Amino acid sequence: MQKKTDSPSILTTTVGSYSPIDWLAALPSEQAVIDATEVVIQTQRRFGIDLPTDGELYRFDVNHPDTNGMIEYFIGRLGGIDTRVGMSDARAFQQKQEMSFRRKPAGVVRDAIGEGSLDLYEACARSASVAQGPLKFTLTSPYMLARTLLDNHYDDLEALCLAIGDALAEQVADLPCACVQVDEANVPGSPENAPIAQAAINRILDKVKVEKAVHFCFGNYGGQTIQKGAWKPLVDFLNGLHADHLVLELAHRPDSDLEALKEISPHIKLGLGVIDIKVNHVETADEVAARIEKAAKAVGPERIGWVHPDCGFWMLKRSIVERKIENLVLGRDKYLGR
């Protein structure tokens, strides 16, 4: 264990989505979204989270409960994409075997990707207005979005990814937040496309002026892992990202994943997933501290900059989420001797 210091050497954060707020779902409105967002952020602050997220409550879509509406929020607003999906579109999309968990595409690319009605600044500013402190803002990666689309315009995965990357990059330079996080849950299962994903993500990161983070997991489709793979094949990909820190799913991953992270470049801080969001079990502070200790022995304590849940909390009940958050902070403090 490390000695107590005035400022923690390891910071706590959450990944993005939060448990649904019942009264927001019952009576949705613009004001209710603002009020619920304030509740989510201040709940995290109350438990001691250093860098909270806004909970992504405004992205929730009841028609897409398996992914919390995350994909549809971006797809439905970007220009050049038609969300009216017909029978022939669905059948064409079903030929993409790697996306077999989806019955139809999130949209069809029929023209060049553009801004459309997407306004990330407005979304971030709304959350920042009630944050009362530093805030992390999240967006879905170009590669992950591209894989959910039927591309009838570019007919090329790389061109589509870069086009989406450029459209998102135009909106991130002046976001009123302390950290911008790009979320990617698809490339860990498709390392052969890592160069394509890396180029598109870097176009966004190069425009960000605050802390830059990239979140990776092996899928979270209704609380289920949908990607097979390991961190080892992705080391070169991760080292090539223009990120300040990584946000990695590790709470229920094999020990070999920790060994692979030894090869991550020292200039990139590691964020450790120490809370499993796919189970209702509430980790104790001792369990969290032990997970940090184990990772520190594998990669070196100086490499660890952040601890957090594996992914977003949207599929868990608030009572469970809040206890997991509380013990995340208590476990970090226990490891640091605070």
User: How many Cβ atoms are within 10 Å of 137's Cβ, its own excluded?
Assistant: 26
Question: For residues 4 and 299, is the Cβ–Cβ distance under 8 A?
Answer: no
Tell me what percent of the chain is helix, strand and coil, each rounded to the nearest 5.
Answer: 40, 15, 40
**Domain residue spans of the chain:** 11-336
Q: Is the model's pTM score more than 0.85?
A: yes
Tell the CATH topology of 11-336: TIM Barrel (3.20.20)
Assigned token pair, 195: 């160069």
Q: What is the pLDDT of residues 178-216, one digit of tens each?
A: 999 999 988 887 889 999 999 999 999 999 999 999 999
**Does the pLDDT of residue 1 top 60, yes or no?**
no
Q: Greater confidence, 7 or 303?
A: 303
Tokens for 114, please give them. Answer: 């553009």
Assess contact for 47 and 325: CB atoms under 8 A.
yes
134, 187 Cβ separation under 8 angstroms: no
Q: Give residues with Cβ within 8 angstroms of 302, minimum separation 6.
A: none
- Concatenate the DSSP letters of all residues of 286-313 into one string: HHHHHHHHHHHHHH-GGGEEEEEESS--
| Higher per-residue confidence, 6 vs 137 | 137
Angle between helices 30-46 and 120-128 (to 10 degrees): 60
Look up residue 152 and give its amino acid.
Answer: N
Question: Considering only CA atoms, which of 169, 166, 167, 243 is closest in space to residue 207?
Answer: 169
Q: Does the pLDDT at position 223 exceed 60?
A: no
In this predicted structure, what is the pLDDT of residue 119? 98
Residue 288 gets the label, from left (phi > 0), alpha (psi -120 to 50) or beta, of alpha
pLDDT digits (tens, 9 = 90+) for 244-277: 999 999 998 888 889 889 999 999 999 999 999 9
Cα separation, 337 vs 334, in Å, equals 5
Given this model, what pLDDT does residue 98 score? 63
Q: Sort residue 69 into left (φ over 0), alpha (ψ -120 to 50) or beta.
A: left
Using 50, 70 and 90 to split pLDDT, how confident is the model at 4? very low
Question: 220 or 248: whose pLDDT is higher?
Answer: 248
State pLDDT tens for residues 47-62: 999 999 999 999 987 7
Q: How many residues does the chain have?
A: 338
| H or E segment and range at residue 45 | helix 30-46
Helix or strand (DSSP H, E) at 274: strand 269-275
54, 40 in Cβ contact below 8 A?
Answer: yes
Q: 69-120: per-residue pLDDT in tens? A: 788 999 999 999 999 999 999 898 888 766 666 778 999 999 999 999 999 9
